[in-house]
Chains A and B, each alone.
Chain A
């Protein structure tokens, strides 16, 4: 199976070069892109699935040695699980992107396609690298290629700024990762992961490495408060890029953390607590910020942070289980996190793609300008609904399965560990429930404002459904959502296989059955309830046939002459919830309410303060800028002065040597 994976890498890299070479022949370069995408992703997908099914790792060493590293890749079930996410999402988003960018003016698409392939290759290398240096090289390649994918619309200043911010944030993270890996290499005397694993790490060192890892990977992943680049970069990129960014790219941080846990094994207890706290803060914070957003892709970007929070809760649960050596909790926690990685990739990919479809048709992403699109974009609307229901974690959709696993891990841990666990796990359960509720409110707002009602400002009668290729990719993603929701067995067992790799815990059939069996029962009960509901609705439909039905305009509300502006906006829908959390969020409402019997002008506007950006990072950046300007005075431009610096340095060295 290693052959398949290597073929896939080869095909992608060769075709990437070919795409660049055939820039002048647009048709040819597009077809090369499509064919290589299908072949590369297909081969990668097959190798991932085989390894997940057999649960045996494979590896490959190339015969040349780099100065400090080695080209050493290996696919174990953990890598294979992420490989699955990468190949599925990149294939569908690439297909979508091909159609999305079709009539896109004079931009050089070949470069974009080649970079897309390069990003795919580097992501594949990140999850399969078994050598620290190779890992970091691939990691950097992911950063650079994502930067170029993000700044596709580089004529806009917002985009350039977002890309710049992303680059700075990502490199800050990479700095921590270098320190972390160098410390690990110093302790173990090896750069290869399998050799690192053989040396036990003392607990304080493990704690230090954990902190570095959480910062380094957390920047890419978007833990609050390290997430500042995320809400800027996602809306700036073209939709298919935002989809892979949110679905795949930010998950690499999760993969990295899992790989670190896989290598180090023994952690102090506060690490698990930290992960749980990060999960709660990112989860609840992400969804609250999302509620305050009025731009669809920005809203979705904040939801990525929320889902990263859920994943981190699962990770923390698993780690806690690992500290107390409780196999069931380990497996459930990690499997929940992993499955949510997959699920989030699928439904967030779906949501970003359908948001892209809306934006492509209407040329705007402002929720308050849209409305009533379900009549014009029926497929996009339905698929957006499926994505929304999944992301809220509602039963019979995939989000439910993974969140159920995380819940179960938290509950199991609560009763089996010490007092601390009782406190933090119950906090985790509460916040997970809160996240689910708030996410439902947020998507009720988004779906309601975009697809229901009437259009709020622009006339959308000319808007038509997008090309079939775009719809097909969305359909496949929606299908996967439903498939996992109805038949979770397969993916849960894949996730369990990967989870057992992280912790080296053995899965006995009894444990696996104990995990899957209740889930299947729950799903079965829900299916029965659902059937009953469907039957009742059908019955109502049939019964209504015999009654007179009067059609009225949407949001008529009894007015004789309603206008399309007389309806709930996204802001007004979210306002009551945001008002409750206004102290946490820095939620501001400005404007004057109508007063008296004959009110004159009234207006209202609301916005949410980005706490970590405005309060934490901007002052830090200001301070750094201030320092940099101070240092500029040593830069006069006279050669003599620079020579003097060298001279002084030389003297200092000599004198130092003397002493």
Chain B
């Protein structure tokens, strides 16, 4: 029961992120989503392993990364995503459609272990798709990072299916990867801003042949 509520909350946060245009709110929402996400291991399978994961997730995803992102937007002084590729309303509609697709796919998918809840796999898929949608429709580099992190949250959920089978060391490795990824992206955002005077990835189209 608690697990289901947590998963619904996670999806809801994801949708709100999709419909928001203020960067600071987006980051806060992401932090909230990550907070709920960090409790799910405990709900699925309470153990020392799960507890460690919860602690590390809270430290990295709720405290370190949001503050890194806040630091980045302070530095490049942007507040909101100005021109998304598709309008917010349409993005929300698309997001809803993709959630439907996610539920459809996960109902047909033949998984060895359904996990504790029927909602777990669809939520994971929905988050991946919402993340992708953010990546595809937004131009600001910072929104791209947020999209990437939402997607990563989805993958994290999916990986919870294998909570007992994965050694702790591997989990820690994955966390380190994400941390380094976000760090690098934060620095790159800064550099894009310095080079072009704005943090929009539209400026990066010169690289095609």
Nearest CB in chain A: distance from B110 CB, A: 9
The answer on a CB contact under 8 Å between A658 and B108 is: yes
Give CA–CA (A640, B207) in the complex, Å: 14
Instruction: Report if A643 contacts B (CB, 8 A).
Output: yes
User: Which of B132, B139, B144 counts the most chain A CB atoms within 10 A?
Assistant: B132
Beta-carbon contacts under 8 Å, A602-659 to B: 635-641, 643-644, 647, 650-651, 654-655, 657-658
The answer on a CB contact under 8 Å between A643 and B108 is: no
Give CA–CA (A644, B208) in the complex, Å: 17
Instruction: Report if B201 contacts A (CB, 8 A).
Output: yes
Q: Which residue of B lies closest to A650 (CB)?
A: B132
User: Which of B132, B136, B144, B207 counts the most chain A CB atoms within 10 A?
Assistant: B136
Give CA–CA (A641, B139) in the complex, Å: 11
Supposing A654-B105, A658-B109 touch, asked if A640 and B85 sit within 8 A by C-beta, the answer is: yes
Pick the residue among A637, A647, A651 that contacts B206 (CB under 8 A). Answer: A637
Nearest CB in chain B: distance from A636 CB, A: 7
Give CA–CA (A190, B168) in the complex, Å: 43
Give CA–CA (A658, B85) in the complex, Å: 30
Give CA–CA (A283, B209) in the complex, Å: 44
What residues of chain A lie closer than 8 Å to B132, measured between beta carbons? 643, 647, 650
Pick the residue among B85, B101, B138, B207 that contacts A651 (CB under 8 A). Answer: B101
Beta-carbon contacts under 8 Å, B116-174 to A: 129, 132, 135-139, 144
Give CA–CA (A99, B136) in the complex, Å: 63
Beta-carbon contacts under 8 Å, B195-209 to A: 201-202, 204-209
* B-side interface residues, number (CB < 8 Å): 22
What residues of chain A lie closer than 8 Å to B105, measured between beta carbons? 654-655, 658
The answer on a CB contact under 8 Å between A643 and B136 is: yes
The answer on a CB contact under 8 Å between A640 and B108 is: no
Give CA–CA (A641, B136) in the complex, Å: 7
Pick the residue among A635, A636, A647, A657 that contacts B136 (CB under 8 A). Answer: A647
What residues of chain B lie closer than 8 Å to A637, measured between beta carbons? 204-208
The answer on a CB contact under 8 Å between B205 and A657 is: no
What residues of chain A lie closer than 8 Å to B108, measured between beta carbons? 658
Nearest CB in chain B: distance from A157 CB, A: 22
Pick the residue among B129, B137, B206, B208 that contacts A640 (CB under 8 A). Answer: B137
Q: Which residue of B lies closest to A632 (CB)?
A: B209
User: Which of A636, A654, A655 counts the most chain B CB atoms within 10 A?
Assistant: A654
**Chain A interface, DSSP helix/strand/loop, else mixed:** helix
Supposing A640-B85, A658-B109 touch, asked if A635 and B208 sit within 8 A by C-beta, the answer is: yes
Q: Which residue of A lies closest to B209 (CB)?
A: A635
The answer on a CB contact under 8 Å between A640 and B139 is: yes
Supposing A643-B132, A643-B136 touch, asked if A638 and B202 sit within 8 A by C-beta, the answer is: yes
Pick the residue among A638, A647, A650, A658 that contacts B205 (CB under 8 A). Answer: A638
The answer on a CB contact under 8 Å between B201 and A636 is: no
What residues of chain A lie closer than 8 Å to B138, measured between beta carbons? 640
Give CA–CA (A655, B139) in the complex, Å: 28
Q: Which residue of A lies closest to B202 (CB)?
A: A638
Q: A-facing mask of B177-209, CB < 8 A → 1, else 0? A: 000000000000000000000000110111111
Give CA–CA (A638, B204) in the complex, Å: 7
What residues of chain B lie closer than 8 Å to A658, measured between beta carbons? 104-105, 108-109
Beta-carbon contacts under 8 Å, B62-99 to A: 85
What residues of chain B lie closer than 8 Å to A647, measured between beta carbons? 129, 132, 136
The answer on a CB contact under 8 Å between B201 and A640 is: yes
What residues of chain A lie closer than 8 Å to B144, measured between beta carbons? 639
What residues of chain B lie closer than 8 Å to A639, measured between beta carbons? 144, 201, 204
What residues of chain B lie closer than 8 Å to A635, measured between beta carbons? 208-209
Give CA–CA (A639, B205) in the complex, Å: 8
Q: Which residue of B lies closest to A645 (CB)?
A: B136
The answer on a CB contact under 8 Å between B109 and A640 is: no
Give CA–CA (A218, B206) in the complex, Å: 42
Give CA–CA (A413, B138) in the complex, Å: 76
Q: Which residue of A lies closest to B102 (CB)?
A: A654
Give CA–CA (A641, B207) in the complex, Å: 14
What residues of chain A lie closer than 8 Å to B101, measured between beta carbons? 651
Q: Which residue of B lies closest to A658 (CB)?
A: B108
Supposing A643-B132, A658-B108 touch, asked if A636 and B205 sit within 8 A by C-beta, the answer is: yes
Give CA–CA (A640, B85) in the complex, Å: 9
Give CA–CA (A657, B136) in the complex, Å: 24
Give CA–CA (A657, B105) in the complex, Å: 9
Give CA–CA (A212, B129) in the complex, Å: 46
Chain A residues near B (Cβ < 8 Å): 635-641, 643-644, 647, 650-651, 654-655, 657-658
Known: A639-B201, A657-B109. 13 other contacts (CB 8 A): A635-B209, A637-B206, A637-B207, A639-B144, A640-B85, A643-B135, A643-B136, A647-B129, A647-B132, A650-B132, A654-B105, A654-B109, A655-B105
Residue contacts A-B, CB under 8 angstroms, 25 given: A635-B209, A636-B208, A637-B204, A637-B205, A637-B207, A637-B208, A638-B201, A638-B202, A638-B205, A639-B144, A639-B204, A640-B135, A640-B136, A640-B137, A640-B201, A641-B136, A643-B135, A647-B136, A650-B132, A651-B101, A655-B105, A657-B109, A658-B104, A658-B105, A658-B108
Chain B residues near A (Cβ < 8 Å): 85, 101, 104-105, 108-109, 129, 132, 135-139, 144, 201-202, 204-209
9 nearest CB pairs, A to B? A637-B205, A637-B208, A658-B108, A647-B132, A644-B136, A643-B135, A640-B136, A654-B105, A643-B136
